[in-house]
């Protein structure tokens, strides 16, 4: 291997999670800040605890689903109104 081209390896690098959990790993970076770790992820904790939403993704998803529901309801009402108008035209034609 060439000398001097590889970054310095730190066997005691610190990982700091957004929930305050810390653990030591080996890395070329001395300290890392992460949003989710094995200490806080629902898959590793059995789904217990808080919903991890550091950037408002859950709220954005809920808003999007609400818009979809209202849009579908208005579309259905529009189609019903159109079919009623069509039926009344047929009735008037006879």
Kindly report, residue by residue over 16-28, the tens digit of the pLDDT.
988 888 999 999 9
Q: Write out pLDDT tens, residues 72-93.
A: 889 888 888 888 888 877 777 6
Q: What is the mean pLDDT of residues 34-63?
A: 74
* pLDDT higher than 70, residue 50: no
Stated pTM of the model:
0.44
**Residue 45 near residue 68 (C-beta atoms within 8 A):** no
Write down all domains in the chain, each with its CATH number in brackets.
1-69 (4.10.80.400)
Q: How confident is the model at residue 49 (pLDDT cuts 50, 70, 90)?
A: low
Helices (H) and strands (E) in the chain, counts: 2, 3
């Amino acid at each position: 291997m060439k000398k001097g081209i590889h970054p310095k390896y730190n066997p005691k690098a610190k990982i700091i999670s957004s929930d305050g959990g810390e653990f030591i790993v080996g890395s070329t970076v001395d300290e890392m800040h992460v949003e989710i770790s094995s200490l806080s992820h629902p898959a590793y904790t059995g789904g217990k605890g808080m919903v991890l939403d550091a950037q408002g993704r859950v709220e954005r998803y809920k808003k999007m689903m609400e818009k979809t529901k209202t849009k579908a309801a208005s579309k259905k009402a529009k189609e019903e109104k159109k079919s009623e108008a069509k039926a009344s035209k047929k009735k008037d034609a006879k």
